[in-house]
Amino acid sequence: MLKIIKVIFFVSLFFSALNSFSETYSTIVQGNDEDVSELLQKALNQSILKVLGSQRDFNLNQNKFRKLNPDNFVREYKFIKFNNEEALEVMIDLKALQEKLLELNLGISFLKNLKVAAWVLCKSDFSSLQAAKSLEQKCRFVKKEFDRVANERGITIIYPILDSRDISLFSFEDDSSLENLTIFNDRYPSDGWFFCEVSNSSEWCFLPEEIEKKLSKLDLESKYKPTVGINILIDNLFSNQRLRAVSQSNLPYYLEIKGLKKFSDHKSFENLLKNILFINNLSLLSLRNDSATYSFNLLSEERNLLNYFDEIENLILINKEKDKVFLALGE
């Protein structure tokens, strides 16, 4: 089925969009007695987890990932100091990894830098000096685990400061008072949040009922161990940003574009198309006056391409017929 997109636009807007897509992804790995090859494999695994956006999919597809050679995805690496310890910073060929995961029929996430707020209440225990020290160490360990997960998943984690009013609210001794509890994330802007209560006897985390809403109530029906809870939260935050693989059609997809004033404009736009991760087999069919026509195969649903163009300011969907869609740039 032939599909044609006619796009009328000011090229500069597309060129600015091109800069938002990086071809590399940087990740940091550490290990005690591991050699460089083992650290590179670890870096590849961390990158796969980041690109997948799903801990569950990562766990289910371990056999596939073990067959991947880091040499095919690592662009370069260097030794650095990280948290006062020696570490390896690894640059991953992002597009190659994305394309490989799509080839394996796995969904992938768009690499937005998510920020998550972890509200951690360490319940005071003054029964003895040892109990107080033990709780302090336990809280540090929980946050260290959150930092580890954040590094592996490629997100930013922040720890809001609980003031006296917060602490008075966050008491799980009276569950009824928590039914209407919301955490005021306007003080600490983030893409998602969760709440954990740590004591000497237990540590449990609770997620919002509606994860994408900043002022959602806590879901008190389900509680999780800290690393399980944060991974579930991250998976859910990435879920709406995931690109799902579909069977590739043998029929070409066509794109006709107008507004290319110079040959350099054409080359810049062609580079933009090459960096769309769900396009391959890109071919230029014609180039005349201020227009160019391309053909390519889509590695995902058509709506992902339309959503991509929809993100470009002032580019408006004018009409969509059975085999055609028309876009125009607004005033």
Query: What does the block give as tokens for 89?
Result: 């910073």
- Give domain limits for the chain: 4-19+245-329, 24-110, 115-239
- Using CB atoms within 10 A of its CB, is residue 95 exposed (0-12), middle (13-18) or buried (19+)? middle
Q: Rounded distance, CA 155 to CA 207, Å?
A: 17
What pLDDT was estimated at residue 144? 94
What pLDDT was estimated at residue 226? 95
β-pairing, 115-122 with 253-258? unpaired
What pLDDT was estimated at residue 2? 45
Query: What does the block give as tokens for 84?
Result: 């006062």
How many other β-carbons are positioned within 10 Å of the β-carbon of residue 296? 19
Class of domain 115-239: alpha beta
What pLDDT, in 10s, does the model give residues 192-240?
Answer: 889 898 998 999 999 988 887 767 788 888 999 999 999 999 999 888 6
Mean pLDDT, each 10-residue run in order, the chain (331 residues): 41 38 78 87 93 91 94 94 87 89 82 83 83 91 94 89 58 49 64 90 90 78 94 88 63 78 77 77 85 79 75 66 56 47
Rounded to 10 degrees, the C-alpha dihedral 167/172/174/180 comes to 70
What pLDDT was estimated at residue 322? 62
- Is residue 274 within 8 Å of 282, Cβ to Cβ? yes
Q: Rounded distance, CA 76 to CA 259, Å?
A: 38
Q: Which residues contact 123 (CB under 8 A, 6 or more apart)?
A: 135, 197, 198, 199
**Which H, E and C letters describe 186-218, residue by residue?**
CCCCCCEEEEEEECCCCEEEECECCCCCCCCCE
